Structure 1
Amino acid sequence: MSILVAVSDDDDFKTVLTVALRLAAGLDQDLQVTHVTGEKSASQRERAFRDDVRAFLSEADMSVEINLEHLDRGGLRSGTAIGKQLLELAEDVDIDHIVIGHHSKNRLRTASQGHTDFIVAEAAAVPVTIVPESVEL
């Protein structure tokens, strides 16, 4: 059994990973870290980010799997579509818990993109931990 951690290549990925590491240690779980990519083949930037995640987690005391996942960001409310696809991924790989970051959006961006984390929290069959962008550890 594992914890699915969804990270994005922003300044908060280390905070999300730190929360996930603490949770995994407390629950004696493995981590499956997923970075969502918009293209079917990862760009050099996305591969570099994966390497940054790998380096950050290199001393973890648990099993860690890091993946680049192609999820379709197309169309209106891309955040909603990504949230639904993350839920499908969680069901496919037998996940016990999901950790995801949250970024505040203005009303226009919320209307056009949706909130990935809210979609996941509302529909997940497992517990979800949402890490706000302003958390200091």
Structure 2
Amino acid sequence: MKILAPVDGSECSMRALDFAIEFARRYDADLSVVHFTDVRGEDTDRLQTRIDEKLADSGVESDTSVSVDVHLASLKVSDRIGKDIIAVVEDDDYDHVVMGHHGTGRIGAFLLGSAAKTVLESCDVPVTTVP
């Protein structure tokens, strides 16, 4: 089984990563962690370090990557990230997605979109969301 854990650095995405790590350990699955951004900078590097530390502490081996997408600077950025997540799932044949969900409400979802909602509605593999 191949699990994809997209993270954005929020507390709910880090809880989702904890869940994905335990899920991968329990089912002897392959785990990949991905972060999407429009510009790679210090914040991205700090997040990468945080992810690497969690993985090292858990003993679970994982591939981690940062995907730079210049189109993320537009409105409804989360919808775009959701589409990028789905593309990774399809391109790399993942079996399961584990991701956080912010619960931004109607106005936040209208203005920013929701990556989790986009993935839940359009992904062809099981998706676990963690609040």
Under a length normalisation based on structure 2, what TM-score does the superposition of the two structures give? 0.89
Shift of 1:66: 1.1
**Structure 2 unaligned runs (5+)?**
none
Contact kept, 8 Å, 1:101 with 1:131, in 2: the verdict is yes
Cα distance between partner residues in 2 of 1:65 and 1:45: 19
Letter paired with 2:34: T
Q: Which amino acid aligns with 2:83?
A: K
Change (3 A) 1:38 1:121: same
Provide TM-score, normalisation by structure 1.
0.86
1-structure distance, mates of 2:12, 2:112: 19
Distance 1:24 1:43 in 2: 29
The answer to whether the 8 A contact 2:13-2:101 is kept is no
CA contact under 8 A between 1:29 and 1:62: conserved in structure 2? no
CA distance in 2, matches of 1:35, 1:4: 11
SS at match of 1:130: strand
**Of 23-32 and 114-123, the range deviating more from structure 2:** 23-32
What per-residue deviation string (whole Å, max 9, x for no partner) do you get for residues 42-72 of structure 1? 1022112101110111033432111111133
Aligned partners of 2:119 and 2:12: how far apart in 1?
18
Post-superposition offset of 1:107: 2.4
Q: How does 1:1-137 map to 2 (within 5 A)?
A: 1-39=1-39, 42-71=40-69, 72-132=71-131
Offset of 1:12 from its aligned partner? Answer: 3.0
Give the percent of matched residue pairs that are identical in Structure 1 and Structure 2: 28
Q: SS where residue 22 of structure 1 aligns?
A: helix
SS of 2:57 mapped into structure 1? coil
Deviation of 1:105 (Å) = 1.3
CA–CA distance in structure 2, aligned partners of residues 23 and 126 of structure 1? 16
Number of matched pairs: 130
Q: 1:14·1:56 contact (CA, 8 Å) conserved in 2? A: no
8 A Cα contact 1:3 1:31, kept in partner: yes
Calculate the aligned-residue CA RMSD, in Å. 1.5
The C-alpha deviation readout for 1:68-102, integer Å capped at 9, x for no partner, is 11133133321111101110011111211101100
Contact 1:3 1:98 in 2 (8 A): yes
Q: Structure 1: which amino acid aligns with 2:18?
A: T
